[in-house]
Structure 1
């Protein structure tokens, strides 16, 4: 097989990249280890930055997003006996939109189907070859058990933390930074209307809690738990009791409405950045290059920003022979990656409790400053609602 761009990974980054390339006349083929149903059912991110919404709308992916997305002006920042609303629109002129990754993945899948995009799901033994030359390729075994070689001008790794793309960069050509946090999130989906109009980020001595949502009828909630937590130790009642305590049930007359829990999982928390995001004719995007803790709602948005930068760079390289943007891609993308990595770290360390009483006092002081200071609120709002794609 032959194509211009071989894309490894059919998640949001891979499918959005193929969509953007197609609009500018560049061919691509996508290969994915998982099944389509698995990829489309993964429960991941649900908060889209203003710039992400603008981009998706501008490239013809905004119909369902506009109809079903839930615009939010800001968040609530909370600690015991205190709840403060930060209005991002008033502070920086833009908000965010609640729209689950499953919905976005379905939108991208429909768009690629309509365009006749070639996607190979359920492949095995994916490997990348000759990346330091102008004739790279990807080999894999297709779903029928046939060995395949996909020759390309460029390979893009959108295959997450555990795919082969990042590892294909020689060890002496890459450097990684990592922070593993001493806690995890216990996340649930519940068939109950959200008990709040905006997300609640709550600091509590028992641990952090977050009240988010997926729709008018489905709530998404999280609890800080120790690493290695066994889900079997957390009954539905224990989960709802902990959420009620940490989110301030009864505080100021506010109540948390429990409901049937349909999904639950323990999510480890870490920050990871691999540099550079390019090696020869291999480009990395999304989780293949960087991971952030979900506290700042940056993971999916960073992936979108990566491919929004990468698509025009590849178009210029492959259609006009101009390598300028491609050569600058890693440096340009990493500037935003590190800004979002810092913001995610800052939100995480401000809101998650530890056994250190001195740290708890620092966190309270930080929260009180953010709630009382226009400058503090503006900084949080600017980062949370999202920086420009080309920042």
Structure 2
């Protein structure tokens, strides 16, 4: 067997894993990142596209501002429509959020990590994790022919990864909330014009940029809808109806139905294994806080690991889960509020006319109350 020994084994080369790897490497802590997919696949996955002010400032503070460069879209501005009328949006003078397609961020983080001599192993198939309760856990892959031993294991491999599954079921509690509606999520080869979100009696709609020539389209739909019920022509006509303005159309690459949910697994570590990002929690896409929470986890864990190795003090690792969860529940509260608000304000057949009018009143408050708008701006920017 081919064996390697390192300080931290990171499973998953997404945003959380690569950010953590770069933070550790820059502070003299060796690590190995294992990723089951090919590099080309990882760098082409079309996912979230917003890095909020927290993320932008975090990368700058850690000396990694360059990962925000490249083909990001700083000039893209999001709009907000209610019943076809575009509403004014105040983002605040200190909002530094940018549109940066996730595949761009992942590619840049990969380049920086490898350039600094980082050990990143793609196509690490059949990953298994053993000994997380021991002093030296081991991560095996490639049919158990290769093994990486480490002091700590960071599970950054998403909701369906092997990391969380390695924790005994009775040691983990799953907290979840189902919202009762779904989004038809569509990837199209077309610029986002218009770009933003629309509330309409027909339901919520969204057009979000994923690059200069790619957009992610969202349409609120029923949980029992099927993709076959949404041919291309219906998608484009429904978007135009909900925005109340023509929407640029083009080739559709993929479609999927996404039931909206929130999930939190507690605690976020067991033994020598620590969960980061989607491996520990899920937020609905309406909140746009998936990347934010993944980056926050990575920074908290990086500081704890650095504290452990540079000062021989594991106290921050012991507090990792509690530290992260305070922040996670704060943004789950925001995610629940904004998701219910935006959907209730539209189609009344989901929650009734009373809830629709209450949601409309709450929305109006965001445009008329400086205090309400300030709190919303803080949460949107990720600085609350």
Structures share fold, TM-score greater than 0.5: yes
Q: Which runs of 5+ in 1 are unaligned?
A: 250-254
Q: Secondary structure at the match of 2:200?
A: coil
Q: Secondary structure at the match of 1:133?
A: coil
**Which residue does the alignment assign to 1:194?**
192
The counterpart of 2:178, out of the listed 164, 177, 180, is: 180
Q: Secondary structure at the match of 1:322?
A: coil
**Which residue does the alignment assign to 1:207?**
203
1:67 deviates by 4.7
**Which residue does the alignment assign to 1:20?**
23
Hey, what's the Cα distance between the residues in 2 that align with 1:67 and 1:114? 16
1:74 deviates by 7.2
The counterpart of 1:163, out of the listed 144, 161, 164, is: 161
Hey, what's the Cα distance between the residues in 2 that align with 1:109 and 1:53? 17
Hey, what's the Cα distance between the residues in 2 that align with 1:241 and 1:107? 37
Q: Secondary structure at the match of 2:383?
A: coil
Q: Secondary structure at the match of 2:228?
A: helix
8 A Cα contact 1:14 1:158, kept in partner: yes
**Which residue does the alignment assign to 2:13?**
10
Structure-to-structure mapping, 1:90-109, within 5 angstroms:
90=93, 93-109=94-110
Hey, what's the Cα distance between the residues in 2 that align with 1:359 and 1:129? 49
Deviations 1:119-147 (A, max 9, x none): 2323333222222232222222x2xx452
Hey, what's the Cα distance between the residues in 2 that align with 1:73 and 1:370? 22
Establish whether residue 329 from structure 1 lines up as the match of residue 320 from structure 2.
yes
316-325 vs 118-127, which moves further: 118-127
**Which residue does the alignment assign to 1:252?**
none
Hey, what's the Cα distance between the residues in 1 that align with 2:337 and 2:151? 40
Hey, what's the Cα distance between the residues in 2 that align with 1:248 and 1:137? 56
Q: Secondary structure at the match of 2:319?
A: helix
1:381 deviates by 1.1
363-372 vs 259-268, which moves further: 259-268
- Report how many residues are paired: 376
Q: Secondary structure at the match of 2:95?
A: coil
96-105 vs 64-73, which moves further: 64-73
316-325 vs 289-298, which moves further: 316-325
Q: How large is the RMSD of aligned CA atoms in angstroms? A: 2.1
Establish whether residue 276 from structure 1 lines up as the match of residue 271 from structure 2.
no
Establish whether residue 87 from structure 1 lines up as the match of residue 85 from structure 2.
no
1:56 deviates by 2.3
Q: Do the aligned partners of residues 51 and 146 (structure 1) sit closer, same or farther apart at CA in structure 2, a change above 3 Å counting?
A: same
329-338 vs 146-155, which moves further: 146-155
Deviations 1:111-170 (A, max 9, x none): 122123222323333222222232222222x2xx45222211111110111112112222
Q: Do the aligned partners of residues 372 and 82 (structure 1) sit closer, same or farther apart at CA in structure 2, a change above 3 Å counting?
A: farther
**Which residue does the alignment assign to 1:376?**
372
**Which residue does the alignment assign to 1:360?**
356
1:73 deviates by 9.5
**Which residue does the alignment assign to 1:386?**
382
